[in-house]
Amino acid sequence: MLGTMQEWPLLCHKIIDHAGTCHGDREVVSRSVEGPIHRTNYREVRKRSLQFAKRLTMEGVRSGERIATMAWNTWRHLEAWYGITGIGAVYHTLNPRLFPQQIIWIMNDAEDRMLFVDLTFLPLIEKIAAEVPSLRKIVVLTDAAHMPATTLADVICYEEWLAEADDDFDWKSFDERTAAGMCYTSGTTGDPKGVVYSHRSNVIHAMTSVFPDVIGMSSGDSMMPVVPFFHANAWGTVFAAPMSGARFVLPGPGMDGKSIYELLTKEKVTVTAAVPTIWLMLLQYLEKESGKLPDLDRVFIGGSACPRSVIDAFQTKYDVKVRHGWGMTELSPIGSVCVLNADHDELTPAERLDVQCKQGQPFFTVEMKITDDDDKERPKDGKTFGRLKVRGPAVVDHYFKRRSPEQFGEDHWFDTGDVAHIDEHGYMQITDRSKDVIKSGGEWISSIELENLAVGHPQVAEAAVIGVPHPKWDERPLLIVIRKPDQMPSREDILGFMQGKVAKWWMPDDVVFVDSIPHTATGKILKTELREQMKDYRLPDA
Ligand code: AMP
């Protein structure tokens, strides 16, 4: 027997309808690409999204067609997402930090039909547009006054394009499993792979993001996603903030410490989200300028392991709560969050910090386990490492145009490629990527744990650990360090600092000082490249 309740499809545009109707006056504040701060509200964003949707249909865009965006977080980018999804088309965010050849490859794989691009990235698009034959029109996200001269054909200024339609439009209606958005993995191994989010997965993920123990958002909040919309589905914030009615503050191209600080304080942001490198930069800025964060209540940190020193600084110096989360493009993207609860009341401050360095518990809708290489589940004892596998309604089932049997088992457990342990309370801690874990004498050493420890040294700016060949142990850890400006810590200083904080056999065999460490387009250490750079290095005793 079926229930007798209504079928109400979970569609993205229902979110902006809700925000526009129930939280219509709530501000959407953006640092525009042209410079000034721009102010609008959810009522206007909804109206312009409807206008956008109508204008797209005038282009002949049909359901399922991919519409690319290469843009900062602004109100125009926001209305583009809702306008695109509102007719069943698919927003496809492009990461401008990728190599041009990768962007061309991705756009051709996605067969993008139109592109909405910020002024910042027009020179890049001028170089590559000819190599994307599916692309029929490029819309520059600006007004007539700022429209630059360009060598491209079929280019139009956004405000003029949008003005050709009015907002008298009804959203299209369709199955909630319809594709809504698309994002490619960063492709550190092999070609990038497309993940296609559905309306249903986006709406479910937004509902879980606003849970108090996830990002947590309400109509009393001012939410600022510093994480770009083009990184892993904007961490779901484009849907979660309007769904909760939170005021939305969008940093546009201002990604430096000063610009972020300015918005955090002037716009009284209460909750924000970004990768650890952004927060390291902000903390350095605060230190230098004696800044304060009186309105900020919590900061969501994910994308790579958050150093203990960052969690500690936010909490003890600035009285800001830290939510350390784990996720990935393949998950919409948040999968777990670390929140302290009554179970931790008895712990000392140092022990509480230990817990907060973990990536935390999966929330309702995410199932999680660890297995060995033969798919046998490993114990949840907080020590034993295993391959991290997840499943749920906002977890990828297969990649765009591809099905890979190794990653998607018949039981739908997705192998994340991460290595983790899970404790008896379900708190998960990432110990490595499966490709980066150091296999020494048949045991696994976590490169991430060693990196976190090394960056805790006050004179270390950044650290990376890779496994290098060893005749007896197969691999041993090598620590690669960038020193802070004007600081000259020695190999012995750093190893001495780490001594006693990890098992003896985990200690790096050597330290190499460098001026730079390669990163991926999403800010992660590019270990493949680092291993290549260090291929001629020999350990002292090897
Ligand atoms: P991306 O799809 O670019 O967001 O990358 C996802 C990957 O980033 C994950 O599979 C993890 O390896 C890593 N990652 C994300 N969040 C964390 C975290 N809090 N700690 C450690 N690694 C993380």
pLDDT for the residue 439: 84
Catalytic residue among 185, 270, 329, 522: 185
Question: How many whole angstroms from 57 Cα to the centroid of ligand 1?
Answer: 37
Pocket of ligand 1 (CB under 6 A): 185-186, 232, 302-305, 324-329, 333, 359, 416-418, 430, 433, 522
Percent of the chain with pLDDT over 90: 85
Question: How many whole angstroms from 304 Cα to the centroid of ligand 1?
Answer: 5
Q: What is the mean pLDDT of residues 85-112?
A: 96
Give the span between the Cα atoms of 383 and 139, in whole angstroms: 52
Q: Is the pLDDT of residue 522 over 80?
A: no
Residues β-bridged to residue 422 = 428
pLDDT for the residue 358: 96
Please report, for residues 77, 306, 320, 438, 463, the alpha-carbon distance to residue 448 in angstroms, rounded to integers and kept in the order given.
34, 10, 24, 10, 10
Atom of ligand 1 nearest to the CA of 325: 19
Atom 1 of ligand 1: nearest residue by CA position:
328
Atom 17 of ligand 1: nearest residue by CA position:
304
**What are the b/e assignments for 157-173, b being 16+ CB within 10 Å?**
bbbebbeebebebebbe
- Least confident range from 159-173, 244-258, 306-320, 441-455: namely 441-455
pLDDT, tens digit, 9 for 90 and up, residues 18-75: 999 999 999 999 999 999 999 999 999 999 999 999 999 999 999 999 999 999 999 9
Give the span between the Cα atoms of 190 and 406, in whole angstroms: 15
* Active-site residue, 529 included: no
pLDDT, tens digit, 9 for 90 and up, residues 464-508: 999 999 988 889 999 999 999 999 999 999 999 999 998 899 999
Q: Give the closest residue to 333 by CA, choosing from 408, 269, 240, 447.
A: 240
Question: How many whole angstroms from 432 Cα to the centroid of ligand 1?
Answer: 10
Q: Is the pLDDT of residue 302 over 70?
A: yes
User: Long-range contact list for 118-121, CB < 8 A, 24+ apart?
Assistant: 118/33, 118/70, 118/71, 118/72, 118/74, 118/77, 118/142, 118/253, 119/33, 119/34, 119/146, 119/148, 120/33, 120/72, 120/96, 120/253, 121/70, 121/71, 121/96
Q: Is the pLDDT of residue 148 over 90?
A: yes
Catalytic residue among 267, 330, 449, 451: 330
Give the span between the Cα atoms of 510 and 541, in whole angstroms: 10
What domains appear along the chain, each with residue ranges and CATH number? 12-209 (3.40.50.12780), 438-533 (3.30.300.30)
Q: What is the mean pLDDT of residues 376-394?
A: 94
* Six token digits for residue 416: 């994340």
Question: CA angle 414-418-424, nearest 5°?
Answer: 90
pLDDT for the residue 188: 61
- Least confident range from 12-26, 151-165, 176-190: namely 176-190
Ligand 1 pocket, mutate which of 304, 339, 450, 525 (most atoms under 8 A from CB): 304
Residues β-bridged to residue 138 = 115, 155
Atom of ligand 1 nearest to the CA of 433: 12
Percent of the chain with pLDDT over 70: 98
Ligand 1 pocket, mutate which of 97, 416, 430 (most atoms under 8 A from CB): 430
**What are the b/e assignments for 297-321, b being 16+ CB within 10 Å?**
ebbbbbbbbbbbbbbbbbbeebebb
* Active-site residue, 185 included: yes
Please report, for residues 98, 109, 124, 308, the alpha-carbon distance to residue 152 in angstroms, rounded to integers and kept in the order given.
21, 22, 11, 48
- Least confident range from 24-28, 48-52, 350-354, 449-453: namely 449-453
* Active-site residue, 93 included: no
Residues β-bridged to residue 114 = 67, 137
* Pairing relationship of beta strands 438-440 and 428-433 according to DSSP bridges: unpaired
DSSP 252: B
pLDDT for the residue 189: 61
Q: What is the mean pLDDT of residues 250-256?
A: 97
Predicted model pTM: 0.90
Question: How many whole angstroms from 535 Cα to the centroid of ligand 1?
Answer: 25
pLDDT for the residue 187: 64
Give the span between the Cα atoms of 88 and 85, in whole angstroms: 5
pLDDT for the residue 406: 62
Catalytic residue among 292, 401, 439, 501: 439
pLDDT, tens digit, 9 for 90 and up, residues 386-431: 999 999 999 999 999 987 666 676 788 999 999 999 999 999 999 8
Q: Is the pLDDT of residue 190 over 80?
A: no
Question: How many whole angstroms from 376 Cα to the centroid of ligand 1?
Answer: 23
- Least confident range from 98-102, 176-180, 375-379, 523-527: namely 523-527
* Active-site residue, 21 included: no
pLDDT for the residue 10: 98
